[in-house]
A and B are shown apart, each in its own frame.
Chain A
Amino acid sequence: MATTTANGIAASQRSPSLGRGYWLAGTVIVLALLPLLGGKTGIISNYGFLQLSLMIVYAIAVLGLILLTGFNGQISLGHGAFFAVGAYVAAVLIDQANWPYWATLPVAALLCFLVGYLFGLPALRLEGHYLALATFALAVAVPQILKYRHFEWFTNGVQGINIFKPDPPFGLPLSADQWMYLVVLAVAVLMFWIAHNLLDSRTGRALRAIRDHTMAASTMGINVAHYKTVVFGISALYTGVAGALHAIIFEFVAPDSFRFELSIAILVGAVVGGIASLPGAVIGGVFVQVIEKYADALTKKLTAAVNLPLDLEPWTIYGIALILLMYTMPMGIAGGLALLWRRLRGS
């Protein structure tokens, strides 16, 4: 019997069967071969690889949030802050210290872990809504913090930092976009694999226990404070690595790139994807990247087709889409698909 919590997630999670593992490996291999299959034949353009890379980057960012909020019950509306830290770490190291792009990722990971851990300490004292709003305040303050006068010597203030996307190494016959796609894919596979193992381990069970019933968990001897702060750090680490990759892809960081809309987008992606599921993170990442374009395109079609008395804007469509999604699939798309799958299997 599955019990539900405030987050509405089943308290028991089964590890994937071996068959699923093979499916997964196969998908990853196909994805890795896309530059060969799609790129060379021209089916997927460089812009297409850019889109795919961004979907994967946002999937990593959403995964970070899911680890904290879905699996540990700590609501964060401020993950854009960690995204920004990761992005700036990468940009500063590349620009000022001439580091190679791949070396910036571990440093971004480490620094973001630290920042997340430090934020997790006061967060221990905050209950659900308070934590949500406190993290939201953090998200909102990010551009200001980035513009802070005493940080300007390395952040370059409002002008932002320009960096260069790497060229494929060893003279591989790939475009820069295709190479970044492979890099992002490799990082994502690694991080999802780590997350999966983490959630399947004692740590994962402890995290879920804390989420479902903190008092019982601590009574059973779980060091709640330790786990909660560490997972905050891990969550920040994930989103920070995504931020670093994002900076390298776009070759530019500026305070304006990290307004609070980013934190909201990551949260929406996590909830729409499925707040407590790894596939949900992937769906969430795709959603974040894709929804604005669909809203935009739909708005343009509607405006052309129907003569409305007002100047319809894409955000209206976006808002309606969010509400409809939450009606039909309050557990996220992953949850909705899982439900469908169970119904089909059951009947």
Chain B
Amino acid sequence: MEQLIQQVASGLANGAIYACLALALVMIFVSTDHINFAQGELAMFSAYLVWQALEWGLSFWLALPLVALFSFLIGVGIERVILRPLHHAPVLSVVVVFIGLLAIFHSLAGAIWGHTIKAIPSPFPHITFVGSGYIGPHQIGMIVVTVLLLVALFAFFRFTPLGLAMRAAAQNPASARLAGVRVDWMLALGWGLAAAIGAVAGSLVAPAVYLEPNMMASILLYGFAGALVGGISSPGGAVAGGFIVGVLENVIAYLGNLLEKTTGVYVIGNGEKLTVALIIVITVLTLKPSGLFGQVSVKRV
């Protein structure tokens, strides 16, 4: 029983990472209707920038906002410079451009900082408290930050005029233009926000998993799974999906081990985590094609 609690707690911690990334993915999807495959590498690159800032003597909580701002600008820049000419290009051509961006950011990180792992110290205080055996301060920090991000985004979209403008631009660009919304800049804003969220995600993940160019590759996959399970049109859904995937993969591995220990039959275990994620995704999508919390899009004939 105790192990189950520990696995769930660890799953929530991992889930926070997936949720953060899923949030960034959904940001871009909701504002631009594209799946950004380069999201993970952008986040990783931002994490390297934080590391570099720490090397130059800044504290983590100073470096993070600075890098988030810088990443925001990079995101806006990418949308304005690289993606603008492709606004009317076929979907798959844009996907290939994302893959190109993925390749560039991944290899630039390796080229500038090398491929050996680097450590970023956890920014959260090293305090022991009740339940420390189950979950550490850094993991709790990650979960708290993820939830805070989600709340901040929700508030932004719901209660600020800019957020309203972004939502309008995403749902009905033509009408939004007529209402005076600068739709193109809303897209860029969406990208900037996603890049900033990714920067936070990457910088919080790095202390737990160690910084190296391949850091986000596998996390991106789980991020996708989380976004799919929750519904890629719903930020809250994506975050929930991330947590669900994180917890489920641990719990299923735990149950598989239990089964093996008691009956000697091996069905599923640690070697099948990605397969489990895949099965979860397919199962959820087969039953609810738009994800658990996604909206079914109604198409006009």
A contacts, CB < 8 Å to B? 6-9, 69, 75, 122, 125-130, 132-134, 136-138, 140-141, 144-145, 147-150, 215, 260, 264, 267-268, 270-272, 275, 310-316, 318-323, 325-327, 330-331
Contact = CB atoms under 8 A, between A and B. Distances in A.
Contacts of A270: 92
Nearest to B279: A141
B74 to A, nearest CB: 15
B89 A326 contact: yes
Interface centre among B224, B275, B286 (most CB of A within 10 A): B275
Interface in B269-294: 269, 271-275, 277-278, 281-282, 285-286, 289-291
A87 B95 CA distance: 27
Contacts of B90: 6-9, 275, 330-331
B274 A315 contact: no
B275 A126 contact: no
Given A144-B275, A147-B271, A319 B107 contact: yes
A255 to B, nearest CB: 11
Contacts of A330: 86, 89-90, 93
A271 B92 contact: yes
Contacts of B29: 129
Contact of B224 (A136, A148, A271, A323): A136
Contact of B96 (A6, A69, A272): A272
Given A8-B90, A331-B93, 14 more contacts: A122-B286, A126-B285, A129-B232, A132-B35, A133-B35, A134-B228, A140-B221, A150-B266, A268-B99, A310-B108, A313-B110, A319-B107, A322-B97, A323-B104
A316 B275 contact: no
Contacts of A268: 96, 99
A126 B104 CA distance: 31
B279 to A, nearest CB: 9
A1 B110 CA distance: 49
A149 B90 CA distance: 42
B232 A314 contact: no
A262 to B, nearest CB: 13
Interface of B: 29, 35, 82, 85-86, 89-97, 99-104, 106-108, 110-112, 114, 221, 224-225, 227-228, 232, 266, 269, 271-275, 277-278, 281-282, 285-286, 289-291, 297, 299, 301
Contacts, number: 155
Given A7-B90, A316-B108, A137 B97 contact: no
Contact of B111 (A136, A137, A312): A312
Contact of A149 (B97, B107, B266): B266
A313 B232 contact: no
B277 A6 contact: no
12 contacts: A7-B90, A128-B91, A134-B228, A136-B221, A137-B224, A141-B275, A149-B269, A268-B99, A311-B114, A313-B107, A316-B107, A320-B100
Contacts of B225: 137
A316 B278 contact: no
A140 B278 contact: yes
A330 B86 CA distance: 8
B103 A319 contact: yes
A134 B281 contact: yes
Contacts of B101: 319, 323
Nearest to B114: A311
B100 A326 contact: yes
Nearest to B90: A8
Interface centre among A268, A313, A318 (most CB of B within 10 A): A313
Interface centre among A75, A136, A145 (most CB of B within 10 A): A136
Nearest first, the 7 A-B pairs at minimum CB distance are: A319-B103, A322-B100, A315-B107, A319-B104, A8-B90, A313-B107, A319-B100
A127 B297 contact: yes
B250 to A, nearest CB: 16
B110 A271 contact: no
Contact of A122 (B91, B92, B272, B285): B285
Contacts of B282: 122, 134, 137
B82 to A, nearest CB: 7
